[in-house]
Amino acid sequence: NLGGSDFMAELSNGFRLLADPQSGVINVESLRKNSAMLGVNSLTDSEIEAMVKEGDLDGDGALNEHEFCVLMIRLSPCFMNEAQKWLEKALVQELEETLKTM
């Protein structure tokens, strides 16, 4: 079980993995691409668009880190369990890629 600061750190890691590297935010395209890369192919385009729209508090069409964290906290515990699995898988992949370059 994660404490409050650990939980927020995990959410921040999740944000960085899903964000577009150029813009630094999560948009529909980066969420589609990065969730597929993490093996989460069950999300439809309309679900991805709805997720970004639901979390987009400032109306700019993308999620900044704060908006992403708020959205993840608001979503159901079931989704949070799935998100944790995605994050763990992504972190393992990132670690493996880092080790290959050493």
Q: How many domains does the chain have?
A: 1
Mean pLDDT of 27-34: 92
- Contact criterion met (CB below 8 Å) for 82 and 62: no
How many angstroms separate the CA atoms of 20 and 13, rounded? Answer: 13
How many degrees, rounded to 5, is the angle at CA 50 between CA 48 and CA 55?
A: 100
The tens digit of pLDDT for each residue in 33-64 reads: 888 777 777 788 999 999 999 999 999 999 99
Whole-structure pTM over 0.75, yes or no?
no
Q: Select from 17, 5, 4 the least CA-distant residue to 83.
A: 17
Is the pLDDT at 23 greater than 90, yes or no?
Answer: yes
In this prediction, residue 31 has a pLDDT band, given cuts at 50, 70 and 90, of: very high
Which residue range is the domain that position 81 belongs to? Answer: 4-100
